[in-house]
Copies of this chain bind each other. A is one copy, B any other.
Amino acid sequence: MSPDTDSVASAIAYAEYRNKLDGLNAIPARLGKLNKETTFVLDYFKMEEPVLLEDGAGKKFILVDHNEKEQSVKNRDSGEILEIIDHHRVSDLTTPNPIFMRFEPVGCTATIIYKMFAGRGMEISKQTAGLMLSAIVSDTLIFKSPTCTREDKMAAQALSKIAGVDDLQTFAGEMLKAGSDLQGYSAEELLNLDRKKFRVAGIEAYISQIQTLDYDDIMRLKDEFIKEMDLFLEKTKAGLAVLMITDLNKNSSMLLFTGRRSEFASRVFNAKIDADHAYLEGVVSRKAQIIPRLMAFHQGE
């Protein structure tokens, strides 16, 4: 619903893979608005944005970079899932038939797709390689995230050669800067940029993430964020809203949380009683460092 660079790059790359492999005629699609980082990357490699898919009814699709129904296309159950390529946890997944699925606990879905191309000795076009490289750099925060594996680094190295990106550090810096340019966004828009819905401990939770090089600037909006999160919960009737503000300079995150069930977040992250925030040193990954902690706390209760 909130595509990031990996979702978009993986959709384009996997469509290229399947179309080259067996002429499937796959069309890359997205489920929501592109963020500034992805727009920068598509522009840099002169690629068009994928089509917007608003309803899955009657369609056949391959899911890349997600599998949870809450994050997927509307009316997914009225369509057909052909395949899934992902690097997230599996959540409440059921298919009527056996299907092809490849899940690997690597930093980036594009890394899995790179391995599929490489495994069959298939060529990746220069532009697509550029997108895949961008996805890896983005998802792993230039290889610094705890989710980054040796395979992500190897894939990025191979892809940078194909894409002709000689100075990876400079390119990655420009890309992350474009992505963390949050000028002109309202608090509501910032919360929407990368918001995912989860079900943990029987609670419906929305967890947004913002990555920034200007942490203090963003934190000035704290009261507005809480206000917007409360409004959002009124509309959705969900129990918990969390905003994870990741400071790319310090590789740490501030969590803001609110909602009927905010005491749950407060306990999981050892915040003070009645606090609406917790600062977590060394925490940058929602997938690897926030979701498992919420899940583990639930199981331990």
Show the binding face of A for B, using Cβ within 8 Å: 77, 86-105, 119, 287-288, 291-292, 295-296, 299
Give A96 Cβ to nearest chain B Cβ, in Å.
Answer: 4
Cβ–Cβ contact A100 & B96, under 8 A? no
- The listed residue (B89, B93, B94, B97) touching A98 by CB distance below 8 A is B89
Cβ–Cβ contact B295 & A98, under 8 A? no
Give complex CA distance A99, B92 in Å: 14
Cβ–Cβ contact A94 & B94, under 8 A? no
Cβ–Cβ contact A94 & B97, under 8 A? no
Give A121 Cβ to nearest chain B Cβ, in Å.
Answer: 11
Cβ–Cβ contact B96 & A93, under 8 A? no
Copies in the complex: 2
- The listed residue (B94, B100, B119, B295) touching A104 by CB distance below 8 A is B100
Write the chain B residue with the least CB distance to A200.
Answer: B96
Cβ–Cβ contact A101 & B98, under 8 A? no
- The listed residue (B92, B103, B288, B292) touching A92 by CB distance below 8 A is B92
Cβ–Cβ contact A94 & B91, under 8 A? yes
Give A151 Cβ to nearest chain B Cβ, in Å.
Answer: 11
> Contacts A90-B93, A119-B119 known; A100 to B103 CB distance under 8 Å?
yes
> Contacts A90-B95, A94-B92, A96-B89 known; A102 to B101 CB distance under 8 Å?
yes
Chain B positions within 8 Å of A97 at CB level: 89, 105, 288, 292
Chain B positions within 8 Å of A119 at CB level: 119
Cβ–Cβ contact B296 & A96, under 8 A? yes
Give complex CA distance A94, B292 in Å: 12
Give A72 Cβ to nearest chain B Cβ, in Å.
Answer: 14
Give A98 Cβ to nearest chain B Cβ, in Å.
Answer: 4
Give complex CA distance A100, B99 in Å: 16
Chain B positions within 8 Å of A92 at CB level: 92-94
Cβ–Cβ contact A90 & B100, under 8 A? no
Chain B positions within 8 Å of A101 at CB level: 90, 101-103
Give complex CA distance A94, B69 in Å: 12
Closest 9 CB pairs of A and B: A101-B103, A96-B295, A98-B105, A93-B93, A90-B95, A90-B93, A89-B95, A89-B98, A97-B292
Chain B positions within 8 Å of A292 at CB level: 96-97
